[in-house]
Copies of this chain bind each other. A is one copy, B any other.
Amino acid sequence: MNNVTPELLVQICEAALMVAGRTLTIAVLQKLFDETDQPEAQQIRAALSTIQEKYQDSGIELREVASGFQFQAKVALSPWLSRLWEERAPRYSRSFLETLALIAYRQPITRAEIEEIRGVSASSHHFKTLMEREWIRIIGYRDVPGKPALYGTTKNFLDHFNLKSLDQLPTLSELKDLACQEAKLQVQLELTSQETEMPAENTETITESTQELEAATSND
């Protein structure tokens, strides 16, 4: 604790509890420091009670729960906060949807296979979300080095898309038709945007649908 002032300790604990996205124990908070600088459990406790006092009149509070400490919004504010989610559900990103589509069409499939096809590493977060929603699950393991898990879709997945079985998913040729339609739509959009947005310089055409834009800016 030589280099860490009590003020800095408070700041670090405060920020850590806010950004971690999970409850933190005193031991975890201690491990944020180099061994030579590591504060005592008591010092962390003192910092935490300083924080508790500091947030007395705030919209949030620091609470100790079974698994550690966490910041929570004050319950009294829930009538307002609940509207944060009322407005509109968040949207899944394009990369999330690509992962889902590959699992649906190529199941049973491993994560490495998905990465290979998509050419980019897959986000663990996507798998977690898909598992939590019970749209996919692990249906087996491949007997190759690393014993990778095989993913498949669930009945919940079919239900969400109103399908009775997987072979009701559109076939590849139907997919191509869809791509054609999309292209046509884009040409139309192009024409309208040329008229409206780009009056002078029309060497460059913005072919952008609002949908795509929202997909691009929404988080997952």
Interface residues of A (CB under 8 A from B): 7, 10-16, 18-20, 22, 24, 28, 31-33, 57-60, 67, 71, 73-74, 77, 80-81, 83-84, 87, 90, 93-95, 108, 119-120, 125, 128-129, 132, 134, 137, 139-144, 150, 154-156, 197, 202-208, 210, 212-217, 219-220
Contacts and interface: CB of A to CB of B under 8 A. Distances in A.
A141 B194 CA distance: 12
Copies of chain A in the complex: 2
A143 B203 contact: yes
B207 A141 contact: yes
Contacts of A93: 134
A118 B28 CA distance: 35
8 contacts: A15-B81, A16-B73, A18-B59, A18-B73, A22-B219, A32-B81, A143-B205, A154-B217
A19 B90 contact: no
Contacts of A18: 18, 59-60, 71, 73
B108 A16 contact: no
A74 B204 contact: no
Contacts of A141: 204-205, 207
Contacts of A202: 143
Contacts of A156: 216-217, 219
A60 B14 contact: yes
